[in-house]
Amino acid sequence: MDCEEADWDQINISKLEQEVKDVPGIEAKLLNVADKDQVTALVVHNGTIMDCEEADWDQTMNVNLKSMYFLCRAVIPKMVAQGSGSIVNMSSSASNIKGVPMRFAYSVSKAGINGLTKAIAADFITKGVRCNSICPATVETPSLKERINATPDPVKARADFIARQKMGRVGKPEEIAALALYLASDESGYTTGQELVIDGGWSLA
């Protein structure tokens, strides 16, 4: 469904708000992903380990990984109590899936998400709680456009992003959303602890 056509008033998130209300720094909010001012969900630090200062490392881990630790801890007890639940974590192919130059801190944080996902899946599989992660490559998002436009040559920057994708294009938000919906639904009831790679073949040798 096109997010601009969605009837946002009909979506009730009060239950999630109650589950995370006592966790500092976490706010349950329904976001219109087409609005770049609403979406600030990750940190992409550019560089190697030698370019990564401790402050860069801490910010990347706090935003990309520690936030998921807090949120999972907040919702798992309720899922265990009701005997069911599905956690869908957003990771990346730039992680333990694929080594990517100049993405040191980001890749480590995303590999951590995949480890967190597998650990939770193993710990709570007998409690009816599933946990999976989505590992995309480059996706056409407001954040991507912002990063491209911030370069000295946006046309070349976009061409470079596309050139590394074996399918000759970047991913569509709708493609990622469809996978997330599947993992959150009962249709994926036999799937847990998995890193679902959706990267247009980017991680292939």
Structure tokens at 106: 């980001």
Phi first, then psi, for residue 97 (nearest 5°) are -75, -45
Rounding to the nearest 10 degrees, give the CA dihedral for residues 67, 69, 74, 80.
150
**CA pair distance 107, 60, nearest whole angstrom:** 10
> What is the three-class DSSP state of 135?
strand
Active-site choice (69, 106, 182, 190): 106
182-199: string of b/e by CB count within 10 Å (b at 16+)? ebeeeebeeebbbbbbbb
**CA pair distance 201, 170, nearest whole angstrom:** 11
**CA pair distance 41, 62, nearest whole angstrom:** 11
User: Is 106 one of the catalytic residues?
Assistant: yes
Catalytic residue IDs: 106
